Amino acid sequence: MRKPLRKAVLPVAGLGTRFLPATKAMAKEMLPVVDKPLIQYAIEEARAAGIEQFCMVTGRGKTALVEHFDIAFELEATLRQRNRTDALEALKGSQVEPGSMLTVRQQVPLGLGHAIWCARAFIGDDPFAILLPDDLVLSETPCLKQLADAYNETGGNVVAVVEVPREHTNRYGILKTGKDDGRLVEVQGLVEKPAPADAPSNLSIIGRYVLMPEVIGHLAKMERGAGNEVQLTDGMAKLIGNQPFHGLRYEGIRFDCGDKAGFLEAQIAFALARPDLADAVRAFLHKYV
């Protein structure tokens, strides 16, 4: 029996400079795709994978993220008085079990590996998931659920992977691949943001991970990698050979919502997937293209 996967870490300390001025006074993870903030997509996806405890690694100016998952007592009382069951229903996904969401602060922006290390007390000795809310996946089965199922099959570490154009390898963590059955691929090495000429493959990691707690010990050494940051990818690379490590080609479409064009594409794709909006969106798109 695998140790059950119940914990998720959500690094949300980034400054969101690519979305200024929108993110001047607001966390970028609060930007909505259609009508739901990015952070809520991540929490709902985690829940659907059996996650029960959440830790957001936040920073200054991110209090809205905490508020969002609280009960908005006055709002709900007013909606109830007005019999607005539709609006009350819309609030449901933004409520979490009392005591199930913690936050820790990453006081200094030293990189993703450092952010995850900041959650070490929360992680303890348990396997844990990481969701990067910028990466949004539209799929039949929620992406993290696909990873959790793969973890139950293989044990050890599992990361979501997708083939990218070779000229984009310098944007991602890249796999050196071993045995590959077309869905699950053995990870033999990991490199953070290699130049296309140095990349061991074009199989890249997206922001969904199931990791073993031992990664924390490696991150704790605070070794600097690409961009002079403490890289999660480098910490994970140290696990290879000691524990199972697999990449999973997930089913679904990934949108990079940290990028303006990716974010806009996500708006369109998610709106078209909504029965209440699809017709209207399709109709107006014709006007522009």
- Contact residues toward ligand G1P (CB under 6 A) are 112, 132, 135, 172-173, 192, 204-207, 231-233
> Nearest approach, Cβ of 284 to ligand G1P (angstroms)?
30
Residue whose CB is less far from ligand G1P, 52 or 259: 259
Q: Please, what is the minimum distance in Å from the beta carbon of residue 172 to ligand G1P? A: 3
Q: Are the beta carbons of 219 and 114 closer than 8 angstroms?
A: yes
The distance of closest approach from Cβ of residue 65 to ligand G1P in the complex, given in angstroms and rounded to an integer, is 17
Output DSSP code: residue 3: P
Distance CA 91, CA 36 (A): 10
Measured from the CB atom, the residue of 148 and 237 that comes closer to ligand G1P is: 237
CB of 245 to ligand G1P, least distance (A): 14
Closer Cβ to ligand G1P, 123 or 174, answer by number: 174
CB of 114 to ligand G1P, least distance (A): 11
- Residue 167 CA to residue 254 CA, distance in Å, equals 18
The first and second tokens of residue 129, run together, are 């998931």
What whole-number distance in Å separates Cα of residue 233 and Cα of residue 173?
A: 6
Specify the residue, 106 or 233, whose C-beta has the smaller distance to ligand G1P.
233
The minimum distance between CB 73 and ligand G1P, in angstroms, equals 36
Report the residue count for the chain: 289
Pick the closer one to ligand G1P by CB: 55 or 232. Answer: 232
Residue nearest to ligand G1P (CB): 173
Measured from the CB atom, the residue of 156 and 235 that comes closer to ligand G1P is: 235
Rounded to whole angstroms, the Cα distance separating 105 from 88 reads 31
Q: Decide: helix, strand or coil at residue 227.
A: helix
Of 100, 101, 94, 16, residue with least CA distance to 61: 16
Q: How far is the CB of 161 from ligand G1P (least distance, A)?
A: 9
Q: State the Cα–Cα distance between residues 220 and 240, nearest whole angstrom.
A: 17
Specify the residue, 6 or 18, whose C-beta has the smaller distance to ligand G1P. 18
Beta bridge mates, 135: 256
Q: Residue 96 or residue 110: which is nearer to ligand G1P going by CB?
A: 110
Q: How far apart are CA 202 and CA 160, in angstroms?
A: 13
Quote the crossing angle between the two packed helices 38-48 and 143-154, to the nearest 10°: 40
To ligand G1P, the closest distance from the beta carbon of 15 in angstroms equals 12
Is 238:186 a contact under the CB 8 Å cutoff?
Answer: no
Q: Which amino acid is at 235?
A: G
